Every structure is written in C-alpha cells, then in structure tokens.
Structure 1
C-alpha cells in the first residue's frame, strides 16, 4: 500500500504542476489542447456548401442527445456557422465551438479535463479583447447574461451581440492587431492572434484524435482511445511542449475512458455509427481549421512566441 500511495502522490504532484504550467505559461509551452454559446437546441442540422466542399453526400440529421452535457449537434451547429465568405472564420461561433469542445474534454474525466481550464482562459482573452473594442455596458459575451430591472427585480436575458468589426472574424482581428502593432513576433504578448494560435494548435490535436477514433479496426482490433489520443498528441502538440509537460500528458492519457464510453457520449450503438458521425464532425472541423491556418500563414503568424 505504501508504494501505491507514493505512486499516486507522485502522479498528483505532476498533474498539479502541469496545471500550474498551463496557467502561467499558456498552451504554447505546455499543453496546447471553447463565448459560452448561444443556444441552438434540437434542430435538424444540414451540411451546406458554406462549410466546405461537398462535406458529405447525405447530410447528417443530428438531434439533442438526452442526458448528455456535450452535444455533437450543438458543436456542429457552431462549426457550420463559423465559415464566412470564402476564406474567413467568424469568431463568435468559433469560440462557441470551443465551449462545446470543453464539455467534451470535461466528460473524459478529471485528468483530461484539466486542459479545459486553460482552453477557457484562452477564449476569455479573446472575449475580453472583443469587449474592450465594444461600446456600451451591454457588450457582453457568453451564456446566462441577465440585466436586472432595479424596480421589479425581474431578470431579462441579454442577447449576445456580434463582435465589433475588429474582432468579428479571424481576418479582421489579424488586420486590426497588425495595424495597432499589438502583435509581437519576437516576444510573448496577450494578443488575440497569439492566443488564437494556441487554440488553433489544440484544434488540430482534437481533430486528429476524433479522426483516429473513427478509424476501422486494424488487424481485427480497435485501438484504445488512450493509445489514439497519445498518438494524436505526439504528432501535434508534443512538438510545442517541454519534456515535463509531455510526460505529464502521457499520464493523463492513461486515464482516458474506454471506447464504450464514447458510444454513450455520442449516442451511437457501435463503431460503425461512431465512425459515420465523427467523420462528418472531422470534415467540418477541418474546414474551420484550414481557413484559420491560411489566414495565419499569410500573415506569418504560425510561429508566434
């Protein structure tokens, strides 16, 4: 028992240290892994051309999954709303997508959900920058925002406004911060662009993990989610992390739930249904990721310190 207690204590210390590193160093040097969204409940979702080239031949019909906090249908609705014009991404639905992805990570257990605190800190940075560019006291972002009548005490929900022109989209934010010399290409800053890059890297990790989770069996067996998540991490975020953070991440992946948990989380019965659903989600995430990648690459922002 003494050995087990010492091992458990060592793991706890490592994970607590990792959490501290996330908070003080950010996702770029530690674990890079989502506006708490406007509600879109129980509506049929069809993939359209605005989400990318011919996403699927048969558009999915996704409904609310009863009893679950994370909802694939809500995630998809936000992701579909993010692409605009031909090459841009709206920040409000982009951040709302992250809100739903945070719920996804939280559902995977306390070890993995440590990352959601850091993700939320990054989305908060962009929201605060957007708020600073807004005029008026009602420029709030996020869910459950109410205004109270001083005479009656009645609470009325405020509508989540659009971002200002500066922070309306990925490209408008890039233009604005470059014009105002907010982005530093040599030193760390809390610019929206630098913060977005950390979220962008994390999105690639999640995209790859979901893609691998949708894979067919290899040699007659399905690989464990733990193995798949570790593999996705090693080819993405691990490249930006220190040795200590990589080791701590490996410990967190050990606690990943088994595949049956994901069937329940996504309201599917088997691997075939899971694959169909996740492949559609991955394609939509890919469209948002690719647009963001192009915008940042065109402005030399893929290696911001």
Structure 2
C-alpha cells in the first residue's frame, strides 16, 4: 500500500473512531454544518426578516435535490409555540432536513449526520414509550415550567398532546419521573436535546459567517468560517483529541461555490439573503430552548 493510500485509510479510521466517540458522549462530542434550496431570492429580497409584511413568505422547492431549504425553514417557523416553548415534532423535522444537508457535503460529514440521527431517534422513541405508558401525562401544574405561567390559559394547556409534545413538557415530565440525571450520562430526552442544542449553535454561527459580506474584498473560505464557529461553540465541550480530529475534518470542507449550488443561488448577495432568513428562524428556536434548559439547570448535563 502506498503512502497516499495509507494516509487516506488512516483519515477514514480516525473519522470512524471520532464518530464512535460522539455516539458514546453525544453531541457533546460533535461538529455539524449547513444548507440547500431553489433560486427563490427574488421572493426574499423584499424582506430582511423571517416574516414579510404579509406574514411568512413561501419558498419553492429546489428540483432534483434531496435537501430543501424551503422545508427546513417551514419546520423552523412551525417550532416556536406559546410565549417561550418549542414544539418537538417540527424541531426534530428541522434536524431531519439538516441531516440531508450534511449528507450532501460528502461522506466525511455524512458520518456525523448518523450521530445526529441517533439523537433524534432517542427523543422520538421516548415519545412513543410515553404514549404507551402515559402514567405521568402533563398535570395541571405544567405551567410551573414556564416563566410566563400567568399568561397561559387553560385552553393553551389543554392543547398539549403528550409528555414529549414540546421542550418544556418534556423537561417537566422527565423531572417528574426522575429520568434526568445531573451527575452521570443517561439517554434522557433532556440530555439528548442539550447535545442537539449545542450543535445548533455551531450551525447558526457558521451560517451567520457564511452570509457575511467580503472583508477587504475577500470572502473567507467555508473551512476557515466553520473552524471559527466551532472554536466559539462546540470546542468548549470537547476533549483535546476531538478538537484535533475536528480540525482535520475541516480540511475536507467544500469551497464557497459548492454552497451556492447547494441553496441554488448565483451570488454571495443572494446567499446572504437566504441564509440570513434561515439564521433568524434558527435563532428564535435556539433562544427559546436555551431559556428552558437554563431555567431548569440543564445546560451542563453530563
């Protein structure tokens, strides 16, 4: 076997091992990425936010592609509920779309998407088990997990469908059942959500940077931007070895032109409009989840 073949094999083994570490430790040991759609920028250019003057604007699908930025955005916009909650079904559907995005970036990043799928599967399985054993369905004091309890009506409370209907209902039920362990690793929904939550921050930061305008006439490479976003987020939760392995993985990050094709745009200006809208939707979901986890002391679950 030649030197190049040995090096390629070593990189593959390292990435597979890294994936197994992330699987054992969760998205605690994780790194993620970003997006794709149709040339809908003309529909977006009149609105700088998530919603236009007449409400959310509809994006068309991008023909011939598995990942659809239009679906991602629709799931993200459907996730916020009430004054501070996040519905789990559209939240997890958002991750389904992001998994397709990561798979589009190639086999190296695709290894990481498998880990995310395992995390979303854990929460979905817990939801199924809770439906089969509804012994701790939401009680009349479910509002105790909401800081805006006084603003919620009985009608709003009755609209909850089950224990894993939303982020806050999941937190309340798992605390009530003693499922959450604050001292050792478990497969609780709350711990699993925290790992996804940390990965979502990396994604948000990366997309923000990818949407930036040129600095001194130069657009920085996606590899450089993703590394910077990683160092500001997930690196804080990773071991030295995982951080070094992640740095190696950044070498395989596609060039910027790949991301143009991925979201079906023609220029950096169009990419910025598209990604800014997605980032704003992610930020709303992220901030609500962050608040719910923080209020219940869950930002450092092992």
Q: TM range, normalised to the smaller chain? A: 0.7 to 0.9
Instruction: Establish whether residue 196 from structure 1 lines up as the match of residue 193 from structure 2.
Output: yes
- Match of residue 269 from structure 1: 266
Q: 2:227 aligns with which of 222, 227, 230?
A: 230
Aligned residue number for residue 142 of structure 1: none
Q: Which residue of 2 aligns with 1:144?
A: none
Q: Over aligned residue pairs, what C-alpha RMSD do you find?
A: 2.2
Query: Which of 286, 292, 297 pairs up with 2:283?
Result: 286
Aligned to 1:8: 8
Tell me, what secondary structure is at the counterpart of 1:27?
helix
CA distance in 2, matches of 1:77, 1:184: 34
CA distance in structure 1 between the partners assigned to 2:297 and 2:52 by the alignment: 36
In the alignment, the residues of structure 2 paired with residue 27 and residue 131 of structure 1 have an alpha-carbon distance, to the nearest angstrom, of 22
Matches within 5 A, 1:89-238: 89-135=86-132, 164-238=161-235
2:131 partner SS: coil
Per-residue CA distance 1:263-299 (angstroms, 9 max, x = gap): 1110111100000000000000000000000000000
* C-alpha contact (below 8 Å) 1:112/1:253 kept by paired residues: no
Match of 2:18 in 1: 18
Equivalent pair of 2:31/2:230 in contact (CA under 8 Å): no
Match of 1:256 among 253, 258, 274: 253
Say whether 1:296 aligns with 2:293.
yes
* TM-score between the two structures when normalised by the length of structure 2: 0.82
Assess, with a 3 A threshold, how the Cα gap between structure 1 residues 12 and 163 changes in structure 2: closer, same or farther: farther
TM-score by length of 1: 0.81
- 2:27 aligns to what SS in structure 1? coil
1:164 to partner: Cα distance: 4.5
Q: Deviations over 1:28-56 (max 9, x none)?
A: 1x2154xxxxxxxxxxxx99xxxxxx645
Q: Deviations over 1:162-221 (max 9, x none)?
A: 985210000000000111111111111111000000000000001111111100011111
- State the Cα distance separating 1:123 from its structure 2 match: 0.4
The answer to which structure, 1 or 2, has the higher relative contact order (CA under 8 A, 6+ apart) is 2
Deviation at 1:60, TM superposition (A): 4.3
Describe the shift of the 1:174–1:32 C-alpha distance in structure 2 as closer, same or farther (beyond 3 A).
farther
Cα deviation for residue 91 of structure 1 reads 0.3
Paired residues of 2:31 and 2:246 also in contact (CA < 8 A): no
Counterpart contact for 1:111–1:252, Cα < 8 Å:
yes
Per the TM alignment, residue 7 of structure 1 is displaced from its structure 2 partner at its CA by: 2.1
Deviations along 1:205-240, one digit per CA (max 9) or x if unpaired, are 011111111000111111111111111111111111
The answer on whether the counterparts of 2:16 and 2:111 sit within 8 Å (CA) in structure 1 is no
Count of residues in Structure 1 that have an aligned counterpart in Structure 2: 263
What's the offset of the Cα at 1:244?
A: 1.5
Distance in 2 (alpha carbons) for counterparts of 1:167 and 1:258: 39
- Determine helix, strand or coil for the equivalent of 1:174: helix
